[in-house]
Structure 1
Amino acid sequence: MTQTLTDRALIEEASKKSALIWVHGGDSGSAGAAGAGRALWHVWHDGAVCLVGDGPGEQPLHGLDLVDGGAATVTVRSKDKGGRLVAWSARVSELAPGGEAWTAAVEELKGKRLNAPDGDHIAERWARECRVLRLEPAPVAVANLPTGSLAAPPLPTPATTRRPMPAGLPKLLLRRRGRKR
């Protein structure tokens, strides 16, 4: 079954408007398959989702089995309600650094990258240390949305949770508020 124009338009509009997509890599990457998907920031460029990762300070792509020529399933959420809107199969291609397609994708990605530590030299760092991937919708019908929640435990991370508030902080805050009156 091939993709209809309506399916293609839904995929494109949903992907353009959503700040995050959920990606399940590999041939068994249907939503709900074994292995957790991952929320990734992206841009829609030239008929496909483009994303960057696997470098220091960038989003992790390892463990997703996103290989050049492989397959993935992308789930896009609704911007206003946050629920799953559409899931689609994608062909993965890794863009070669310095190529015409890589340069065009990186120009789009640079505009969406928030808080980059090296804003002026980000393209050079991405060429050296990161992977730029293109996830193009496969010419098949849009995947059926799963019926389950797809909830998964968080991935291990070196990040820590907030520590308890220092005992003297409430007094300090109340004292400042008192001076303003």
Structure 2
Amino acid sequence: MTETAEQTALVEEATKKSGLVWVQAPTGRSPQAVWHAWVDGAMCVVGGGPGEQPLGGLTDGGTAVVTVRSKDKGGRLVAWPATVSALLPDSDGWTAAVEELKGKRLNAPDAETMTVRWARECQVLRLVPSGPPSEQPGAMPDGSGAAGPVPSPATTRQPMPEALPRLLARRRKRA
């Protein structure tokens, strides 16, 4: 099945406007929230190096599913399949992607030399839409899509001791 012009426009506009998207590689990992930039018909991300966002199993030549939220309501708007390719430093595609990503990177500790560090330590990936959206307005799944809590040794609060309300009431009367 091929994408229609409306689906292509929905994917592009929603992804451009959203500052954060969720990307899931087919490795069985949970979706990873990533910041990005839309450059020349594809979503570009940078990460995988020290001090940068993790890329959650994305690899050159792999695939992924990108889920985009609605800018105004914050709920899921569209999910689209992508083909992942790595951009090599100093190639035309890399330079264009890095210039866009540089403007979107918040709180960089080395803003002046950030692109040199990205070339040396990070990956810049290009995610190109590769088919019709799996989710879009009018064709959304019934479930919430919410992830369960991560296993943790933390516990919930224990019931309040019976005497505590009386102790607190006495303390308020004295004050």
- What TM-score results when the alignment is normalised by the length of structure 2? 0.79
> 1:10 maps to what in 2?
10
CA apart distance, 1:97: 1.2
> 2:120 maps to what in 1?
128
Aligned with residue 61 of structure 2, among 65, 69, 91: 69
Aligned with residue 38 of structure 2, among 34, 44, 57: 44
Aligned with residue 35 of structure 1, among 19, 25, 29: 29
Q: Deviations over 1:128-174 (max 9, x none)?
A: 11110000000x22113433223223599xxxxxxxxxxxxxxxxxx
What SS does the corresponding residue of 1:120 show, helix, strand or coil?
Answer: coil
> 1:59 maps to what in 2?
53
- Runs of 5+ in structure 1 lacking a partner? 29-33, 157-181
Distance in 1 (alpha carbons) for counterparts of 2:128 and 2:46: 15
> 1:109 maps to what in 2?
101
Distance in 1 (alpha carbons) for counterparts of 2:34 and 2:103: 16
8 Å contact 2:34–2:53 — kept in the other structure? Answer: yes
CA apart distance, 1:99: 1.1
Q: Does 1:142 align with 2:133?
A: yes
- What TM-score results when the alignment is normalised by the length of structure 1? 0.77
> How well do the aligned residues superpose, as a CA RMSD in angstroms?
1.7
Change (3 A) 1:59 1:154: farther
CA apart distance, 1:35: 2.6
8 Å contact 2:87–2:93 — kept in the other structure? Answer: yes
- Runs of 5+ in structure 2 lacking a partner? 153-175
Amino acid at match of 2:21: I
Change (3 A) 1:37 1:107: same
